[in-house]
């Protein structure tokens, strides 16, 4: 259908001089030459086999810009919080049990590093799409394309799109195997689950306000209960966690679509690109909302942190190196019994 529309429009634009040998167009002008033909002209040297996945690659590359930008902004929010609480000491925990101390700054910097790492993985995965199959025509054979079409078409498309496109190294591979899209989906899922892990940690540390840890207070965005006055729930971390589940589900769909390709062509491209669009939209939303409505406004409770930090194992680890593990264990248990 698209080639028919383009051919009709091309005929209107390119052949406007009246001539007696061609019929009058509805607009009142006549063609000066043969009308633009949808197959002979518009679709010359092309096949759906190669033009569709090329358009798909360009679409995914363009849409990937938004989640990368959102993840970078989220990392910057964590950097800001790290600087704000650089010297604030908190109790670290392993297996949900007291461990040694670290600073809030170190905690948030680790968040930033993790987000930037997954952002980099997503960017790197998308780069693989710069090798496009345009010119592969049917199956990757190049049949029906005029000599030099592939190189000239890809170079022109690169100039128009702004992407550093190059012809695929192996055209048969480029149409039969779409594992590059699985890599992109997995990179998006890794970013989502990393965000969800951080969100879950902040949700736990904000538990309370009286019966939980309550080391950090998250911004209130809505009432938490219609029956319990004053209750505030960590809805933003929970939003991030839930979107991560949907993203990981969409990534599984991409993986199944990639695996379902048969012989020389994968006809599952529509569900692959549709799922990637969902991944990018959810990833962008999760990172943006998490940064702007949660991380930016969170506050660490200094007195609570200081109180909990008294239970840290720092001194016991030091003592163990001096008097031995068994002797220190006795002293730890005596301390706990009298605390």
Which of 11, 225, 252, 285 is the catalytic position?
225
pLDDT per residue as tens digits for the range 252-270: 999 999 999 999 899 999 9
Q: How far apart are CA 203 and CA 287, in angstroms?
A: 16
Q: How far apart are CA 270 and CA 210, in angstroms?
A: 51
Both tokens assigned to 315: 């001194």
pLDDT of residue 26: 46
User: Low-confidence residues of the chain, pLDDT below 50?
Assistant: 18, 22-26, 28-32
Residue in 245, 333, 320 with CA at minimum distance from that of residue 286 = 245
**Domains in the chain, ordered, with CATH?**
1-44 (no CATH), 47-131+168-300 (1.20.200.10)
Q: How far apart are CA 292 and CA 80, in angstroms?
A: 12
Both tokens assigned to 130: 């710069």
Residue in 192, 175, 174 with CA at minimum distance from that of residue 251 = 192
Directed axis angle between helix 179-205 and helix 104-127, to 10°?
A: 170
Q: How far apart are CA 3 and CA 291, in angstroms?
A: 44
For the question of residue 225 being annotated catalytic, the response is: yes
pLDDT of residue 16: 52
Q: What's the CA dihedral at 208, 243, 73, 203 to 10 degrees?
A: 10
Core vs surface per residue 144-166: b (16+ CB within 10 A) or e: ebeeebbeebbeebeeeeebebe
DSSP string, 90-140: EEEEETTEEEEEEEHHHHHHHHHHHHHHHHHHHHHHHHGGGEE-TT-TTTT
Residue in 62, 65, 4, 60 with CA at minimum distance from that of residue 35 = 4
pLDDT of residue 30: 45
Cβ 99 vs Cβ 9: under 8 Å = no
**pTM of the entire structure?**
0.88
Directed axis angle between helix 235-259 and helix 179-205, to 10°?
A: 160
């Amino acid at each position: 259908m698209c080639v028919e529309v383009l051919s009709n429009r091309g005929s209107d634009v390119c052949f406007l001089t009246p001539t007696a040998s061609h019929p009058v167009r509805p607009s009142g002008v006549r063609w000066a030459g043969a009308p633009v033909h949808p197959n002979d002209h518009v679709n010359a040297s092309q096949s759906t086999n190669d033009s569709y996945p090329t358009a798909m690659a360009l679409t995914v590359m363009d849409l990937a810009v938004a989640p990368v930008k959102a993840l970078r902004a989220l990392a910057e929010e964590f950097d800001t919080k790290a600087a704000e609480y650089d010297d604030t000491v908190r109790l670290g925990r392993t297996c949900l049990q007291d461990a040694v101390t670290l600073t809030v700054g170190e905690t948030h910097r680790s968040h930033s590093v993790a987000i930037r790492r997954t952002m980099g993985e997503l960017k790197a995965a998308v780069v693989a799409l710069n090798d496009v199959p345009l010119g592969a025509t049917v199956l990757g054979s190049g049949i029906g394309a005029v000599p030099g079409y592939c190189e000239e078409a890809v170079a022109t498309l690169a100039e128009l799109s702004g992407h550093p496109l190059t012809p695929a190294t192996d055209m048969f591979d480029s149409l039969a195997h779409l594992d590059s899209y699985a890599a992109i989906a997995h990179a998006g899922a890794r970013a989502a689950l990393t965000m969800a892990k951080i969100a879950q940690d902040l949700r736990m540390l904000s538990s309370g306000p009286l019966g939980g840890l309550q080391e950090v207070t998250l911004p209130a965005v809505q009432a938490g209960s219609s029956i319990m006055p004053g209750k505030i729930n960590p809805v933003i971390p929970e939003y991030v966690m839930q979107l991560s589940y949907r993203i990981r589900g969409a990534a599984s769909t991409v993986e199944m679509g990639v695996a379902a390709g048969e012989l020389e062509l994968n006809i599952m491209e529509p569900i692959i690109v549709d799922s990637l669009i969902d991944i990018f939209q959810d990833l962008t939303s999760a990172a943006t909302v998490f940064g702007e409505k949660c991380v930016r406004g969170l506050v660490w409770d200094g007195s609570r942190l200081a109180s909990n930090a008294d239970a840290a194992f720092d001194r016991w680890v030091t003592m163990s190196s001096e008097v031995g593990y068994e002797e220190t264990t006795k002293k730890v248990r005596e301390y706990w019994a009298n605390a």
